Structure 1
């Protein structure tokens, strides 16, 4: 009897903790409310299962407590009970999996009007590349990476010359404009994650992965690496700034293109040799 009461108390305290707990998801700042909805549904289904199982066990302990003269009845099969358990379990699994598959289908199909940008991960910092006046990113390859070309942008591709190169870990994007983020790694497995955006994806060396989202709230947000990538992993942080269109264009105009970066590097080397 005491154990049954403890189990009921565990259920009550668990539900109360969820209601009064101050720990909640960070306020969303993108179009991925579908992900929050799916997580909420998953939490509801698993909570219902937890409550039902624990309370059923408490009920069984209460009903089956020892009573002088009472004998247990052995029932090896109960098709009605098995049908109920099988049906409820099937419904629970469908409720857990089906919404996730729907959201995943949306997650991997970026809208055609999304602007392609690039996030580049290396132990232990983030760099970014945005399209220039032509609206297209040039080609890139890790074989081109050196001290003068940290992102491995192809110097032979004319479309690369006006690409905007950002190496200080700060990414600016305009609000309410969808973006497709191409993800590349120079060394090990990283993971691009912005909690308020609700989007995350691995950066796998040797391949280009991607994610997409539409920023919906002006503000400043942390860019994290969600895959352990070595001793400097906790310090691998960047910043995402969601700007109004005017602020974004002002920031963009102050950034250096790939061509300008190469000219500045050549000028710097020339001045160093002249001294």
Structure 2
């Protein structure tokens, strides 16, 4: 009797939880409402079976409970019962499969008017490629992948010269326009998923898979990797911004093309020398840094990283948190640089300075443990901490360990990386949380100091 009551309560509790639960679908933002309908049909079919089976089981437990004066009836076959069970099961399975097959038929047929975008996944970030004015994506090959050509575009294919490259993990899409997203992985299995779009697809190394959708709602949505792609899999995030056609075109026009990305803009070091005079008051005239002024060495930092951080300071992406007093100071100083050309000149001058001989300030770490932590860092920053500009990952060697420690703590505490335009910072914020405590940070920096 007790078991029968428990079974009934299980059914009732499951129904209450299902209908009263606050966890449900995210708001639909694409044309794939049919996927919701398919999932709902599956819920109803499996829910009906769940209720029927458990109520019947509760009935049998009570009705045929053990009694001394009764004996069981042996009936090895019952064709009528078996026929009914097979018929009902067939109808239930067909009810679940048929809608899915109909939706899948639409899913694999991409509208002719859909524009094409390529999403490239790698541990642990997204990048995107769009056709240029010729409307065609250039051919790619892994043999062409390098620090200056991270997409592996064939430089001899004229169709790829005007391809628009998005090195950021933020993709923009125009509203109410169908888009085919071709998916390519550079290393391991990944999965491109946007919950509000209701579609997702695996990225398989060596293959090009795809999905298509029509965004129907303006907004900003998270891109998730729903395939376990490594220890830091959860940090592989991006964003999709659905906007008007005019805003979308402005965004596309602001991105670099493959041809322009191969023409590196270099500032004038001589012009940068005069601009650097103010910086040298804290960072040293040779960019050697000054810990007493909380100013890290600059001459050992990556040019692309310094340029990006100066832009972030100028635009308020970094240095606005009330607890980031040093960042606030740098934001004020960065605003003294009038434009991007001034930033390029200063960075060019800093690059001309001799690299400083840094003194390690952290000595209580365990190098072997630090090596274990560094495995994840090395995927982007290089196995020797040399950095990789294609992955927006600065060099770690040649930086003051106390400065790196402060930035890791800032990332862990949400002082840095929370701005919605700081996509690289958000990723670092997630990665920094792999370091459980301050000792783990010291272990990591002890290893980096040995490189």
**TM-score > 0.5 by shorter chain:** yes
Q: Distance in 2 between matches of 1:43 and 1:214?
A: 26
- Cα distance, 1:241 vs. partner? 0.3
Number of corresponding residues: 273
- Cα distance, 1:232 vs. partner? 2.2
More helix by share: 2
Which residue of structure 1 lines up, in the alignment, with residue 26 of structure 2?
26
Q: TM-score, normalised by structure 1?
A: 0.95
- Cα distance, 1:65 vs. partner? 2.0
Q: TM-score, normalised by structure 2?
A: 0.58
Which residue of structure 2 lines up, in the alignment, with residue 61 of structure 1?
61
Q: What SS class does the counterpart of residue 201 from structure 1 fall into?
A: strand
Deviation per residue, 1:167-209 (Å, 9 max, x gap): 1111001001111111111111111111111111111111111
Q: How do residues 8-47 of structure 1 correspond to structure 2 at under 5 angstroms? A: 8-47=8-47
Q: Distance in 2 between matches of 1:162 and 1:270?
A: 27
Q: Unpaired runs of 5+ in structure 2? A: 270-347, 353-451
Deviation per residue, 1:68-109 (Å, 9 max, x gap): 423332222211111111111111111121111111111111
- Cα distance, 1:3 vs. partner? 1.2
Which residue of structure 1 lines up, in the alignment, with residue 221 of structure 2?
221
If asked which structure has higher relative contact order (CA below 8 Å, sep 6+), I would say 1
Q: What SS class does the counterpart of residue 268 from structure 1 fall into?
A: coil
Q: Unpaired runs of 5+ in structure 1? A: none
Deviation per residue, 1:199-232 (Å, 9 max, x gap): 1111111111111111111100011111111122
Q: Distance in 1 between matches of 2:184 and 2:92?
A: 37
Which residue of structure 1 lines up, in the alignment, with residue 93 of structure 2?
93
Q: What SS class does the counterpart of residue 249 from structure 1 fall into?
A: helix
More strand by share: 1
Q: Distance in 2 between matches of 1:207 and 1:6?
A: 50
Which residue of structure 1 lines up, in the alignment, with residue 107 of structure 2?
107
Q: Distance in 1 between matches of 2:268 and 2:105?
A: 52
- When the two chains are superposed, the root-mean-square deviation of aligned CA atoms in Å is 1.8
Give every structure 1 segment of 4 or more consecutive aligned residues whose post-TM-superposition deviation is greater than 6 Å: 269-274
> Which entry has the higher C-alpha Rg, 1 or 2?
2
- Cα distance, 1:249 vs. partner? 1.3
Q: Distance in 1 between matches of 2:88 and 2:33?
A: 28
Q: Distance in 2 between matches of 1:270 and 1:92?
A: 72
Q: What SS class does the counterpart of residue 6 from structure 2 fall into?
A: helix
- Cα distance, 1:9 vs. partner? 1.1
Q: How do residues 1-275 of structure 1 correspond to structure 2 at under 5 angstroms? A: 1-263=1-263, 265=264, 267-268=265-266
